[in-house]
Amino acid sequence: MLVYDLDGTLFETLPDLNTAVNLALAHHGHPRATESQVRKAIGDGARILISRLARAGSSEEEIDKIWATFRERYLEVCADSSFVLPGVESFLEARSRDLPGRHQAILTNKPQAPSDLLSERFAMNRWVGRVVGGDTPFGRKPDPTGLRHLMTWANTTPERTLMIGDGPADLAVAHQAGVKCVLVEGGYGNPEELNGLPWDWKVANFAELAVLWPEIEPRNP
């Protein structure tokens, strides 16, 4: 089974996240965040994103209010400027073609509703059989519950599973679940948070991953 992160791995979603964040911050009288600040704050779920960007010293109640507004605004704009990253569709198609019946899934800390909307808008169900968001009962990465759930759903094992993502939560969840991991460079979050986290392969993009694929394909032990 192949399990993919969504933001910064399969999709470029930063412009729409940036729009929704700043609409929410402005609505509650907080200073605007730069796109660079938003990029670095992505990776651990929407509420933590807001907590990192709200005015310093904001109460938990205030963060919750901004978070609620963000969720409303993001659902309105999440597919306005977002797009599938280069090489992703051809990689997913090739994996479906070279092994019919291969399970492919998305495990993201983005809430379920916008994750589903993006998946549907870009017809990811051509290749992806399951999308698990960060506000489900399975928790958020690096909690391995969601990844273990997907392995159960696919009736597979850690040895036959590969996590592909761009951030520290992806590396950490793979490590906790005993799954090998591909780090896609240049994604979201703070690059310094990757320091000391294990990864098995590192690629610049999906075109490079496609070339590397025969070497790293999970096989029966």
Work out the average pLDDT over 187-196.
80
**pTM of the entire predicted model:** 0.92
218 compared with 150, residue with greater pLDDT: 150
Residue span(s) of the chain under CATH 1.10.150.240 come to 14-77
The whole-chain average pLDDT of the chain stands at 94
If 0-12 CB within 10 Å is exposed, 13-18 middle and 19+ buried, where does residue 160 land?
Answer: middle
pLDDT of residue 190: 75
pLDDT of residue 99: 80
Q: Which of 5, 7, 166, 170 is catalytic?
A: 5
pLDDT value at 83 more than 90? yes
Give yes or no: 5 in active site.
Answer: yes
Work out the average pLDDT over 192-202.
87
Q: How far apart are CA 152 and CA 84, in angstroms?
A: 27
Lowest mean pLDDT among 50-59, 192-201, 205-214: 192-201
The pair of three-digit structure tokens given for residue 75, joined into one six-digit string: 């659902």
| Distance, C-alpha 37 to centroid of its chain | 18
Q: How far apart are CA 192 and CA 204, in angstroms?
A: 17
Q: How far apart are CA 168 and CA 184, in angstroms?
A: 11
pLDDT digits (tens, 9 = 90+) for 130-179: 999 999 999 999 999 999 999 999 999 999 999 999 999 999 999 999 99
Q: Name the CATH architecture for the domain at 14-77.
A: Orthogonal Bundle (1.10)
pLDDT of residue 27: 97
The pair of three-digit structure tokens given for residue 127, joined into one six-digit string: 């290749």
CATH 3.40.50.1000 fits 2-12+83-216, yes or no: yes
pLDDT of residue 87: 97
Residue span(s) of the chain under CATH 3.40.50.1000 come to 2-12+83-216
pLDDT value at 207 more than 60? yes
Q: Which 3 state secondary structure label does DSSP give 9?
A: coil
